[in-house]
């Protein structure tokens, strides 16, 4: 690390970029080390923000797509346990539009689910509960405001939340009954009844109560969830400490990703805040795609929002 001299930055961190040969000479480990050690050094010095180029993807020949994946992986892993503003700077259109190739089937998923060429005016990013953009004096949308805004609370006739992925391998057929089947069935029934009883206990939970219940069920920590969701700690604290708190819809969607919810869980959770994922919103469909495919990475999700001309979540 050296001073920033005449740059508009206090410091410069110098990392030795690996030269790319064939990908089998330890290039990936060296490139990951560049990001990991740079971030560790910045954290050690109390630096609050840092900007990276896409290291080694220029004259050193590292494939841009692979280089971006490595950068995103290491930055995301660092942010799970640290607070810092991290920028990844790309210099050409090829690199900046790389996200479409990272998820080639996402456009088909959107085309299949996006039933109307219009955007619901549900997303007011100026009031989104994100770091640097939340207003501690402003409560979230309550039921009365939702009614005035014309949000529908009834379940749609057709469920557009998820679409079956035909590329998935078919599941194996159920095994033939054996002598142990009655015992196994009894155990399965007992487990089903236990889970149903547990779910019934939380039937009347509010959004905050049900979110905390799901987090406990998955054995996760609150800090892990709000960091994964890139939701400000103060906003999460409001949710945790106020059972009647109604977050903005984008905040709720981000928490679904942060809590690694799957299949029906996001629908149940969002409904408790008066929301539902809409087939008329590309933002909702992109969130559904990531949740359905088990991709719980807000940085990559944000890249896809930008690639599809939608407002970014991360400021």
Kindly report, residue by residue over 41-81, the tens digit of the pLDDT. 999 999 999 999 999 988 888 988 888 889 988 998 898 88
| pLDDT for the residue 189 | 78
| pLDDT for the residue 73 | 87
The whole-chain average pLDDT of the chain stands at 76
- 22 pLDDT more than 60: yes
| pLDDT for the residue 156 | 36
pLDDT bracket for residue 171 (50, 70, 90)? very low
Kindly report, residue by residue over 229-280, the tens digit of the pLDDT. 988 889 999 999 998 888 999 999 999 999 999 878 888 888 888 888 887 7
- Are 253 and 260 within 8 A, CB to CB? no
| pLDDT for the residue 104 | 60
Give the integer Cα–Cα distance in Å for 179 and 182. 7
- 138 pLDDT more than 70: no
Give the integer Cα–Cα distance in Å for 269 and 277. 11
| pLDDT for the residue 40 | 95
Give the integer Cα–Cα distance in Å for 39 and 86. 9
| pLDDT for the residue 263 | 73
| pLDDT for the residue 33 | 95
Would the pTM count as exceeding 0.75?
Answer: no
User: Among 61-65, 100-104, 286-290, which range has the highest average pLDDT?
Assistant: 286-290
- 118 pLDDT more than 90: no
Q: For the chain, what percentages of helix, strand and coil (3-state, to nearest 5) are there? A: 45, 5, 50
Q: Where in the chain is the domain with CATH 3.40.220.10?
A: 2-96
Closest listed residue to residue 267, CA positions, set 281, 288, 283: 288
Contacts of 104 (CB under 8 A, 6+ apart): none
65 φ, ψ to 5°? -65, -45
In the numeric block, which tokens belong to residue 234? Answer: 């103060």
pLDDT bracket for residue 146 (50, 70, 90)? very low
Given the DSSP bridges, would you call strands 85-89 and 49-53 parallel, antiparallel or unpaired? Answer: parallel
Give the integer Cα–Cα distance in Å for 33 and 17. 9
Please name the CATH architecture into which domain 2-96 falls.
Answer: 3-Layer(aba) Sandwich (3.40)
pLDDT bracket for residue 217 (50, 70, 90)? confident
- Are 262 and 291 within 8 A, CB to CB? yes
> Which stretch of 113-117, 177-181, 307-311 has the lowest confidence by average pLDDT?
177-181
Give the integer Cα–Cα distance in Å for 173 and 75. 42
- 106 pLDDT more than 80: no
> Which stretch of 89-103, 196-210, 220-234 has the lowest confidence by average pLDDT?
89-103
> Which stretch of 45-59, 195-209, 221-235 has the lowest confidence by average pLDDT?
195-209
In the numeric block, which tokens belong to residue 55? Answer: 């290291």
The tally of CA atoms less than 13 A away on the side-chain side of residue 101 is 10
| pLDDT for the residue 116 | 44
Choose between 150 and 247: higher pLDDT.
247
Average pLDDT over residues 30-36: 95
User: Among 98-107, 135-144, 208-217, which range has the highest average pLDDT?
Assistant: 208-217
| pLDDT for the residue 165 | 38
308 φ, ψ to 5°? -100, 20
pLDDT bracket for residue 172 (50, 70, 90)? very low
């Amino acid at each position: 690390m050296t001073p920033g001299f005449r740059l508009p930055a206090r410091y410069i961190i110098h990392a030795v970029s690996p030269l790319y040969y064939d990908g089998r000479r330890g290039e990936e480990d060296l490139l990951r080390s560049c990001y990991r050690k740079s971030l560790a050094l910045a954290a050690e010095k109390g630096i609050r923000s840092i900007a990276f180029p896409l290291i080694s993807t220029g004259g050193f020949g590292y494939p841009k797509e692979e280089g971006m994946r490595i950068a995103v992986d290491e930055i995301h892993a660092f942010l799970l346990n640290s607070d810092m503003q991290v920028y990844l700077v790309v210099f050409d259109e090829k690199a900046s539009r790389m996200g479409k190739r990272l998820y080639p089937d996402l456009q088909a998923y959107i085309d299949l689910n996006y039933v109307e060429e219009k955007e619901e005016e549900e997303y007011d990013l100026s009031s989104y509960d994100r770091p640097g953009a939340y207003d501690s004096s402003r409560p979230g949308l309550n039921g009365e405001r939702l009614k005035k805004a014309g949000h529908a609370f009834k379940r749609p006739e057709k469920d557009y939340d998820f679409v079956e992925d035909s590329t998935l391998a078919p599941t194996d057929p159920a095994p033939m009954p054996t002598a142990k089947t009655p015992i196994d069935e009894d155990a399965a029934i007992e487990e089903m009844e236990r889970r149903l009883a547990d779910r019934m206990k939380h039937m009347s939970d509010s959004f905050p109560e049900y979110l905390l219940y799901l987090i406990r069920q998955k054995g996760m920590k609150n800090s892990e969830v709000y960091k994964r969701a890139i939701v400000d700690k103060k906003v999460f604290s409001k949710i945790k400490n106020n059972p009647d708190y109604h977050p903005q819809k984008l905040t709720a969607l981000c928490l679904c990703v942060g809590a690694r919810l799957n299949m029906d869980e996001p629908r149940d959770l969002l409904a408790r805040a008066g929301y539902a994922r809409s087939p008329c919103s590309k933002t909702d469909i992109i969130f559904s795609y990531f949740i359905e495919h088990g991709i719980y990475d807000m940085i990559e999700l944000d890249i896809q929002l930008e690639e599809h001309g939608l407002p970014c979540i991360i400021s």
